[in-house]
Amino acid sequence: MRERIHEKKKTKDCLICFSSKNVGIHLQDFFICSDCEKKMVNAGVDDPHYLVYVHRLRRVRESLTQNKEGEVPK
C-alpha cells in the first residue's frame, strides 16, 4: 500500500476578520477568507459591516498605489 504524505495547509490571516484560514482569495499580498468574501459580496451599503469592509480594503488600494509610485521606469 502506498503511503500518502499530507502536506499541512498553510493558513493566512484574513484582511477582514483577522482569523487564520486556508481557503479564500488573494489580492496582491493580501488574503480574504471565503467567509468574509461571501459576506462582502452580499453586503449592501446599509449593512453595519459595510464601512469596515471598505476601510480594510483600502489597504489593498494603498498597496497598489505605493507599488505604482515605486516602479522603476523602463
Q: Where are the domains of the chain?
A: 12-69
The pLDDT score that the predictor gives to residue 73 is: 45
pTM, full prediction? 0.74
For 20-71, what is each residue's pLDDT tens digit? 999 999 998 999 999 999 999 999 999 999 999 999 999 999 988 886 665 5
Q: Do the beta carbons of residue 21 and residue 35 sit within 8 Å?
A: yes
Return the SS3 of 36. Answer: helix
- C-alpha 30/C-alpha 44 separation (Å) is 23
Alpha helices of 5-48 — where are they, by DSSP H?
Answer: 34-42
- C-alpha 60/C-alpha 40 separation (Å) is 15
